[in-house]
Amino acid sequence: MKAIAVIPARGGSKGLPRKNLLPLCGKPLVAWTIESALAAQNVERVVVSTDDPQIAQVSRAYGAEVVQRPPEISGDASPSEEALLHALEALNIDRGPLAFLQCTAPLTLPQDIDGTLALLASADTAFTATPWHRFLWKATPAGAEPIGHSKDVRLMRQQLEPHYLEVGAVYAMRAEGLLRTRRRFHGATAIYQLPPERSLEIDDETDWVLVEALMRRRLQMQKEQALPVNVAALIMDFDGVLTDNRVAVDQTGVESVTCHRGDGWAISRLRQAGLRMLVLTGESSPVVARRCEKLGVEWITAHHDKLPVLKAWLDRHGIAPAQAVYVGNDLPDCPCMLYVGCGIAPADAHPSAKAAARVVLETAGGHGCIRELADLIMSPRRESLGTPADHR
């Protein structure tokens, strides 16, 4: 039986006002937990309990159901159990597994939710925690006193009795147990261990800065991993990729475009690493030829569909589609993006291109997006995979 996931998300927050709606790496904070819950294999319904109309609107936009929480159980002193019990009543649920998730822990992965729920096979409740190997002390009138260790015998950290720090990311229980006891912990309780890098919770601005840094690192690594293990070819559209998708026309009809010098440097770097490159464009303007000549990159003008031209070029050079990446920004690029090992879209690409892409860059076309892509391809973290980073 799959679980229902309930995410309490109040509109009020003292540490960081409107925290649940603040943008974290491009998404509202609450969206990260919703997306993890929707991706969990053992969750069939994701519900946000909120008193805030804007949080409700955002939650629905990211795929969650919404339960409107009354003001009397939405204050700072209202325990989360009240929100859970109200949600179960509103949804007419009285049994089955329940995952209580908190959006203050956006680093939670779908497998953390599934793993915590799986512990209900042998326990009544479960929660996420991370190993804790620190020395605790308390202040007393007689001075500082150790907790769980001795001042007389200073053990090494590894010799301390193992402890766990509770992380308010995932709590698992059965609805009937919560309804009976009105507590999240009852009966036998099991621990799902989180690694330290996923154990941070956001309570204040410092927490936000740390979580944001870890999230950006995760997203960067996901982009690197989405690329083919061995990238052999880079194919690019011209307008909207190597340019900012605008064109200037003077009084004589001569066209000019804006490019980014960083892209030129990146193309030179990738060429030295052994990548074969192609600009595949639907434009026949002389500006395309002049720019490609300067970059030292082959170009082909496809007057109709680009995909047959791309297939013929890959065949001619003996390059498997799975080893190629294609950077496109609009609908005509989508078949090519879906054909190769990894389709890539600049940040300002048309929604159709973003939907076809496995990687959406943070940089817009004509503003250094190829430079960003080169950094992904040449990342030191990919060296062990046999990528062009080996040739630097």
**219-242 per-position pLDDT tens digit:** 999 999 999 999 999 999 999 999
Answer with the residue of higher pLDDT: 380 or 178: 178
Q: Is residue 89 domain-shared with residue 208, that is, in the same domain?
A: yes
Q: So what's the pLDDT on residue 388? A: 53
What are the pLDDT digits (tens) for 185-223? 999 999 999 999 999 999 999 999 999 999 999 999 999
Last residue of a domain, one of 189, 223, 257: 223
CB atoms within 10 A of CB 162: 8
Q: What is the DSSP secondary-structure string of 136-164?
A: EEEEETTEEEEESS-SSS---GGGSPPEE
Average pLDDT over residues 32-47: 98
Q: Are 170 and 239 in a shared domain? A: no
Is 361:260 a contact under the CB 8 Å cutoff? no
CATH number of the domain enclosing 93: 3.90.550.10
pLDDT for 97-110, tens place per residue? Answer: 999 999 999 999 99
* pLDDT at res. 100: 98
The reply to whether 209 and 291 lie within a common domain is: no
Which of 159, 193, 223 is at the close of a domain?
223
Rounded CA gap, 317 and 274, in Å?
Answer: 13
Residue 390 has a pLDDT of 40
Say whether both 55 and 178 belong to one domain: yes
pLDDT of 387 higher than 70: no
Q: Are residues 376 and 235 part of one domain?
A: yes
Each residue's pLDDT tens digit, 162-177: 889 999 999 999 999 9
298 neighbors 279 (Cβ within 8 angstroms): yes
Same-domain pairing of 193 and 326: no
- One domain for residues 282 and 201: no
Assess whether 144 and 248 both reside in one domain: no
243, 192: one domain = no
Please tell me the predicted confidence (pLDDT) of residue 386: 52
Same domain? For 265 and 381 the reply is yes
Residues 6+ apart with CB under 8 A from 340: 235, 310, 321, 322, 324, 325, 326
Q: Which amino acid is at 336?
A: C
Decide if pLDDT at 298 tops 70. yes
Identify the CATH number of the domain in which residue 299 sits: 3.40.50.1000
Residue 249's pLDDT is what? 85
Give CA 239 to chain center in angstroms: 28
194 and 335 assigned to the same domain: no
Alpha carbon 111 to its chain's center:
14
Give φ, ψ of 126 to 5 degrees.
-150, 160
Domain match, 212 and 302 both: no
Indicate if the pLDDT at residue 283 is higher than 50: yes
CA distances for 374 relative to 74, 168, 223, 265, angstroms:
48, 38, 12, 10
Across the chain, mean pLDDT equals: 93
pTM as predicted: 0.83
Q: What is the CA radius of gyration of the chain?
A: 27
Q: pLDDT at position 383, please?
A: 62
Supply the pLDDT for residue 391: 35
Q: Is the pLDDT of residue 392 over 50?
A: no
Rounded to whole angstroms, the Cα distance separating 84 from 251 reads 68
Domain that holds residue 248: 228-391
Among 181, 198, 223, residue at a domain's last position: 223
Q: Measured between alpha carbons, how far is residue 276 from residues 50, 215, 268 in Å?
A: 53, 32, 11
